[in-house]
A = this chain, B = another copy of it.
Amino acid sequence: MAQKPSIPRGTRDFSSTEMLRRNHIFDTIRRIFSLYGYLPIETPAMENLTTLLGKYGEEGDRLIFRILNSGNFLAEVPSQALAAADTPAVIQQISEKGLRYDLTVPFARYVVQHRDEIVFPFRRYQIQPVWRADKPQKGRYREFFQCDVDVIGSDSLLNEAELVMIIDRIFSELGINIVIKINNRKILAGIAEIAGAGERITDITVAIDKLEKIGPEGVRQELLQRGIEPEVTARLEPILNLKGSTDEKLGELRSAMAGSAAGLKGIEEMEELTGYMAMQPARATIELDLSLARGLNYYTGTIIEVKAADLPFGSICGGGRYDDLTGIFGMPGVSGVGVSFGADRIYDVMLQLSLFPEQTGSSTEVLIINFGGDELPALMKMASTLREEGIPTELFPEPVKLKKQFSYADSRRIPMVVIAGSNELAAGQATVKNMKTGEQTALPLSALPAFIREGKIS
């Protein structure tokens, strides 16, 4: 085979360097999740199509990767469908499973399926890849990771406040300055209602969600195209353009919303949440953003979105409250709230801002030069001792030229190299070379672990 092998478009290999950086992100996220009592679950990559289809809209259904049934899968397909090359008819016969499209629907399925084993309120997190047959482009992949954290079975807005604290802490530990935008779906419903178009809430939210991307004039056009009358739009605008602090905005909204029960409830929730958030002030900026809608229709209360303050990236984290996620699987009336961290975008932000620690994670700290022959038992023992002390150690596998072994240490960016020939070993000594400074230090074997750990003789 002369051609270099490749991987499918929109998928990626992760090298060791990328993996160590990614693990730095995932480990931070995981550690903070568990500090707040969230526990991991995992669901299979494949779900039954009955679970997946109809949950993400028509476009979503088209983007689900489907898995071919095994065996002679055409045998069961009606011959007319085949003869007519009727793709939609045939597809139903030859495929029963698909790759998960997000972590939310599998989570809802999980909760319903395991309802009898779960202790509510159920706090879970889930970090797994998802797959979408989207057109690949820069920053958009067909396989990417989601990190979802949700609590289900509790109406309390304390949960929202804790999620904001979790977001604040994670991005602070990663070194990313953020702005957390908050809104409430009920306030959006109220705004639509007092503008005289309560039943058009979906069209309205989809349009105003684009404010940042397409500007006020773009939103006006989009609303018009969606059949929202210009006078409705005119009534929406002053509300969406409210300025001032969160308290000021809420005050003005309250008088504007006098006629909308939903709107008033939304304001009440936002005030309660603001109160909780004030009890443990976040490091990040938190803003009430009335144009924040997030497309997903299952949100019913608080909506949360996070952006990097120092880069014009899109959202790097977002979520909200849903009152009936499990209803689609026959378990109505269970409220939950959650957010999803976009690992790939967070990675890109950190790379652009040079936020990764130089030595991310568990790289080799020391290479022992292999002189072969009689020294080998002593060198193997040295390697063992260092590893027992928790120091990642390599003994070069072949007694090749020193130059080659040093060049390996260099390319792998191993910070220290131990040189111990037969004379030194006989004297109970070794020499450590610091690969960054070039400095060489001779020291007794017993001092080796401490020296390597601290980079100096203690």
Contact = CB atoms under 8 A, between A and B. Distances in A.
A23 B46 contact: no
A117 interface: yes
A276 B383 CA distance: 13
Contacts of A384: 165, 280
A6 B74 contact: no
A1 interface: yes
Q: Which interface residue of A67, A109, A397 has the most chain B CB atoms within 10 A?
A: A397
Contacts of A66: 67-68
A123 B328 CA distance: 47
Interface of A is mostly: mixed
Contact of A41 (B8, B16, B280): B16
Nearest to A115: B4
Contacts of A117: 15
A95 B11 CA distance: 16
Interface residues of A, number: 112
Given A119-B408, A159-B397, A85 B77 contact: yes
Nearest to A397: B156
Nearest to A83: B83
A51 B133 CA distance: 20
Interface stretch (A30-38, A183-191, A305-313, A444-452): A30-38
Contact of A154 (B14, B67, B74, B398): B398
A454 interface: no
A40 interface: yes
B143 A51 contact: no
B75 A91 contact: no
A110 B45 contact: no
Interface in A1-58: 1-8, 11-16, 19-20, 23, 30-31, 34-37, 39-48, 50-51
Contact of A398 (B87, B109, B156, B370): B156
Contacts of A427: none
A435 interface: no
A321 interface: no
A143 B19 contact: no
A362 interface: yes
12 contacts: A4-B113, A6-B113, A19-B42, A20-B39, A30-B362, A34-B392, A35-B391, A37-B394, A79-B83, A154-B397, A276-B380, A279-B381
Given A11-B45, A15-B117, A16-B41, 15 more contacts: A1-B329, A5-B109, A7-B43, A8-B96, A13-B44, A13-B113, A19-B39, A62-B70, A68-B94, A74-B85, A75-B87, A82-B85, A162-B395, A162-B397, A279-B376
Interface of A: 1-8, 11-16, 19-20, 23, 30-31, 34-37, 39-48, 50-51, 62, 65-68, 70, 72-75, 77, 79, 82-83, 85-87, 90-91, 94-97, 99, 109-110, 112-114, 117, 119, 121, 123-124, 129, 131, 133, 142-143, 151, 154-156, 158-159, 161-162, 165, 276, 279-280, 328-330, 361-364, 367, 370, 376-377, 380-381, 384, 387, 390-395, 397-398, 408, 411-412
